[in-house]
Structure 1
Amino acid sequence: MTSQSPRHEAVHAAAADAVPAALADLGALVRIPSIAFPGFDRAQVQRSAEAVKALAEGTGMFDRVEIRDAAIDGGPERGMPAVLATRAARNGRPTILLYAHHDVQPVGDESLWESTPFEPTVRGGRLYGRGAADDKAGVMVHIGALRALRAVLGDDIDLGVALFIEGEEEAGSRSFSQFLSDNADALRADVIVVADSGNWDAKTPAVTVSLRGNARFTLTVRTLEHASHSGMFGGAVPDAMMATVKLLATLWDDDGAVAVEGLATRDAATPDYSEETLRDEAGLPEQVTPIGRDSILSRIWNKPSITVTGIDAPSVVNASNTLTPEVKVVVSARVAPGQNARDAYEAIAAHLRARAPFGAELSFTDVDFGDGFLVDTSGWAVQDARVAMEAGYGVAPVDLGVGGSIPFVADLVREFPEAQILVTGVEDPHARAHSPNESLHLDTFRNALAAEALLLERLDARAL
Structure 2
Amino acid sequence: MPRLCDELERLVAIPSIAFPNHPKEPVRRAHDYVVDLLRDAGVQDLDAIELPDTSPVITGRIPAPPGAPTVLLYGHYDVQPAGDESAWETPPFTPTRKDGAIYGRGAADCKSNLIAHIGALRAHGGRPPVGVRIAFEGQEEYGSAFDDYPPSDPGRFAADAMLICDMGNVRPGSPTLTVALRGAADVYVEVRTLKHPVHSGEFGGAAPDALLTLIAALATLHDANGDVAVPGMRRDAWDGTAYSDEEFAHLTGMLPGTAQLGTGPIGERLWHGPAITVIGLDAPAVDSAASAVVPYARAYLNVRVHPEQDVKEGQAAVIRHLEALRPFGNELKVTGGDAGAGYAATMGGPAYRAMRRSMAAAWGADVAEMASGGSIPLVNALAKAQPAAEILMFGAEDGECGLHGPNERVLIDELEKTVLAEARFFDEYAKEAGR
Whether these two folds match at TM > 0.5 is: yes
Separation (CA, whole Å) in 2 of partners of 1:133 and 1:251: 34
Match of 2:216 among 213, 237, 246: 246
State the Cα distance separating 1:420 from its structure 2 match.
0.8
Distance 1:103 1:245, change over 3 A: same
The one-letter code of the counterpart of 2:349 is G
Distance 1:412 1:444, change over 3 A: same
Separation (CA, whole Å) in 1 of partners of 2:420 and 2:387: 28
Separation (CA, whole Å) in 1 of partners of 2:95 and 2:11: 9
State the Cα distance separating 1:267 from its structure 2 match.
3.4
- Show the counterpart of 2:43: 62
The one-letter code of the counterpart of 1:115 is T
State the Cα distance separating 1:418 from its structure 2 match.
1.0
State the Cα distance separating 1:356 from its structure 2 match.
4.0
State the Cα distance separating 1:44 from its structure 2 match.
2.7
Spell out, residue by residue over 1:29-62, the C-alpha distance to the aligned partner (whole angstroms, 9 max, x if none). Answer: 2222222222322333222222211221121x22
- Show the counterpart of 1:84: 59
The one-letter code of the counterpart of 1:224 is L
Separation (CA, whole Å) in 2 of partners of 1:118 and 1:342: 38
Distance 1:316 1:439, change over 3 A: farther
What is the RMSD of the two structures over their aligned residues, measured on CA atoms?
A: 2.1
State the Cα distance separating 1:181 from its structure 2 match.
4.1
State the Cα distance separating 1:168 from its structure 2 match.
1.6
Structure 2 unaligned blocks of 5 or more? none
Distance 1:82 1:390, change over 3 A: same
Structure 1 unaligned blocks of 5 or more? 1-18, 71-76
Question: How many correspondences in the alignment?
Answer: 434
- Show the counterpart of 1:177: 148
Q: Conserved in 1, the CA contact under 8 Å of 2:170 and 2:243?
A: no
State the Cα distance separating 1:268 from its structure 2 match.
3.7
Match of 1:425 among 375, 389, 395: 395
Q: Percent identity?
A: 38
The one-letter code of the counterpart of 2:146 is S
Q: Conserved in 2, the CA contact under 8 Å of 1:427 and 1:440?
A: yes
**1:175 alignment partner, SS class:** helix
- Show the counterpart of 2:249: 279
- Shifted more, 269-278 versus 79-88: the winner is 269-278
Q: Conserved in 2, the CA contact under 8 Å of 1:94 and 1:463?
A: yes
- TM-score under structure 1 normalisation? 0.88
Confirm whether residue 435 of structure 1 aligns to residue 419 of structure 2: no
Match of 1:233 among 197, 203, 217: 203
Match of 1:46 among 2, 6, 28: 28
- Shifted more, 210-219 versus 258-267: the winner is 210-219
- Show the counterpart of 1:449: 419
State the Cα distance separating 1:421 from its structure 2 match.
0.7
The one-letter code of the counterpart of 1:103 is D
Separation (CA, whole Å) in 2 of partners of 1:442 and 1:184: 35
Separation (CA, whole Å) in 1 of partners of 2:398 and 2:259: 24
Q: Conserved in 2, the CA contact under 8 Å of 1:266 and 1:338?
A: no
**2:394 alignment partner, SS class:** strand
State the Cα distance separating 1:280 from its structure 2 match.
2.3
Q: Conserved in 2, the CA contact under 8 Å of 1:173 and 1:408?
A: no
**2:264 alignment partner, SS class:** coil
Separation (CA, whole Å) in 2 of partners of 1:357 and 1:376: 44
Distance 1:315 1:106, change over 3 A: farther
Q: Conserved in 1, the CA contact under 8 Å of 2:152 and 2:385?
A: no
Q: Conserved in 2, the CA contact under 8 Å of 1:270 and 1:298?
A: no
The one-letter code of the counterpart of 1:353 is E
Separation (CA, whole Å) in 2 of partners of 1:26 and 1:228: 58
Spell out, residue by residue over 1:184-218, the C-alpha distance to the aligned partner (whole angstroms, 9 max, x if none). Answer: 32321011010112212100111112221111233
Separation (CA, whole Å) in 2 of partners of 1:52 and 1:326: 49
The one-letter code of the counterpart of 1:223 is T
Distance 1:87 1:429, change over 3 A: same
Confirm whether residue 32 of structure 1 aligns to residue 14 of structure 2: yes
Q: Conserved in 2, the CA contact under 8 Å of 1:266 and 1:337?
A: no
State the Cα distance separating 1:406 from its structure 2 match.
1.9
Q: Conserved in 2, the CA contact under 8 Å of 1:86 and 1:186?
A: no
Mapping of 1:169-208 within 5 angstroms?
A: 169-178=140-149, 180-181=150-151, 183-208=153-178
- Show the counterpart of 2:112: 137
- TM-score under structure 2 normalisation? 0.93
State the Cα distance separating 1:301 from its structure 2 match.
1.7
